[in-house]
């Protein structure tokens, strides 16, 4: 009955570039499993300059939006409400429209990271290492604020980035120490390593993976596996992929946008795997 009451609704992912996004595959798979046959989910190439006009032109049929770069901060001034989670990292990746047209922003990347780690058996760690210092690294710090009881060491390329990570640590109440990228091999002995860098950046580290690695969370998913993830897995370490993150954060988005209590995680992951295999 819920599907009938909420028929004809729309959602989409916005960003630039956006052609590579797997979000339509994941959300459409969820709609099919949930019986929301009249729901649609599209993608739109939207940059920061075009965002206000796009948002202002949406009608009452819109249920929600997923946001990727470079819009996660640009959307904030256009919202009526921002969740505490999104405010903590000044980044919104989810917008849900209320029945009155109100716009509420949230960040599902952070709980999505926690859920992906929990699925791998990681409930709590005594320390962790982060490779990189971009926007994803701040979300990783926010996730670690929920599960890490000790120090987080961030390996970065510049003092400016190091200062940013230390500031995020203070804001998120995480004990952050920064080290130079040249010493990044030292990160690989941590109980949990979160790689947040662009494709190819960590390839050289694959040659120095320890014999008994613990857990690697590599936020990339295409191409997959990365050189680091492949070597890590070959040495028997646990690996959490960017697809795991993408699926878990999308599950939370589907639940918020549709009002359904439980989105079909396994169905969404299988759809994502099939889409990647076909690329």
Which pLDDT value is given to residue 1? 31
Which pLDDT value is given to residue 279? 83
Task: Quote the CA–CA distance of 265 and 141 in Å, as a whole number.
Answer: 24
pTM over 0.85: yes
pLDDT, tens only, 46-86: 999 999 999 999 999 999 999 999 999 999 999 999 999 99
Which pLDDT value is given to residue 223? 87
Which pLDDT value is given to residue 7? 54
pLDDT of 112 > 70? The answer is yes
> SS3 of 199, please?
coil
Instruction: Read off the pLDDT band of 134 (50, 70, 90).
Output: confident
Task: Quote the CA–CA distance of 100 and 102 in Å, as a whole number.
Answer: 6
Task: Quote the CA–CA distance of 167 and 161 in Å, as a whole number.
Answer: 10
Average pLDDT of the chain? Answer: 95
Cβ neighbours of 98 (radius 10 Å): 10
- The residues that are catalytic are 72
């Amino acid at each position: 009955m819920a599907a009938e009451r909420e028929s004809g609704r729309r959602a989409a992912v916005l960003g630039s570039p956006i052609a590579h996004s797997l979000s339509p595959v994941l959300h459409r798979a969820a709609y099919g499993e949930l019986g929301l046959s009249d729901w649609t989910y599209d993608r739109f190439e939207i940059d920061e300059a075009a965002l206000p006009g796009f948002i202002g032109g949406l009608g009452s049929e819109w249920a929600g939006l997923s946001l990727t770069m470079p819009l996660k901060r640009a959307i904030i001034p256009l919202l009526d409400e921002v969740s505490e989670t999104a405010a903590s990292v000044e980044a919104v990746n989810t917008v849900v429209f209320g029945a009155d047209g109100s716009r509420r922003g949230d960040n599902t990347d952070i709980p999505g990271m926690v859920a992906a780690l929990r699925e791998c058996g990681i409930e709590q760690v005594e320390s962790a290492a982060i490779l990189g210092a971009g926007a994803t690294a701040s979300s990783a710090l926010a996730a670690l604020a929920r599960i890490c009881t000790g120090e987080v060491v961030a390996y970065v390329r510049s003092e400016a980035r190091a200062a940013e990570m230390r500031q995020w640590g203070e804001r998120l109440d995480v004990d952050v120490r920064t080290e130079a990228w040249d010493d990044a091999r030292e990160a690989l002995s941590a109980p949990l390593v979160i790689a947040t860098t662009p494709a190819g950046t960590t390839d050289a580290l694959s040659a120095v993976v320890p014999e008994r690695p613990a857990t690697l969370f590599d936020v990339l998913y295409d191409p997959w596996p990365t050189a680091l993830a492949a070597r890590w897995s070959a040495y028997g370490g646990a690996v959490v992929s960017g697809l795991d993150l993408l699926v878990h954060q999308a599950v939370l988005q589907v639940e918020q946008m549709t009002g359904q209590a439980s989105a079909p995680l396994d169905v969404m992951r299988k759809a994502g795997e099939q889409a990647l295999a076909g690329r």
